[in-house]
């Protein structure tokens, strides 16, 4: 069993749901941090969802406002992802938000 420290990052250039991270099929993942930065002159919103192995979608943050030229830490506690679960983010406006997740993968092999 190995612990792998990694991060996932995305520049939200569209308003489509964008995959930020997918837990490996042989690992659980602990998302320690989910940081969103707005580098635009106007506020934007972000929606974060978790899709499980049965393709059910769960809202983590729904239309969370991010003020202009600020960064916001979304998680106050770690988030556990099971095998193959998907963390997706959606911006209200293109080319304004960047998202970085700090992750610990716990490999079961």
13-29 pLDDT per residue, tens:
999 999 999 999 999 99
Range 31-58 average pLDDT: 97
Class of domain 2-107: mainly beta
CA–chain centroid gap for 22, Å, is 10
Which residue carries 């506020």 as its tokens? Answer: 43
Domain boundaries, the chain: 2-107
Range 51-69 average pLDDT: 97
* Angle at 21 (CA atoms; ends 18, 10), nearest 5 degrees: 55
- State yes or no: pLDDT of 52 exceeds 80: yes
- State yes or no: pLDDT of 12 exceeds 90: yes
CA distance readout (Å), 45 to 2, 8, 30, 96, 98: 36, 20, 24, 10, 12
- State yes or no: pLDDT of 1 exceeds 80: no
Q: What is the pTM of this model?
A: 0.94
């Amino acid at each position: 069993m190995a612990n792998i420290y990694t991060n996932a990052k995305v520049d939200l250039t569209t308003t489509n749901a964008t995959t930020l991270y997918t837990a490996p099929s042989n690992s659980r993942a602990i998302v320690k941090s989910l940081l969103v930065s707005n580098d635009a002159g106007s506020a934007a919103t972000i929606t974060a969802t978790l899709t499980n192995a049965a393709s059910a979608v769960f809202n983590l943050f729904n239309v969370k406002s991010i003020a202009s030229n600020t960064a916001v830490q979304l998680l106050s506690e770690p988030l556990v992802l099971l095998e193959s679960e998907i963390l997706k983010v959606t911006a209200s406006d293109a080319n304004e938000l960047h998202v970085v997740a700090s992750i610990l993968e716990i490999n079961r092999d």
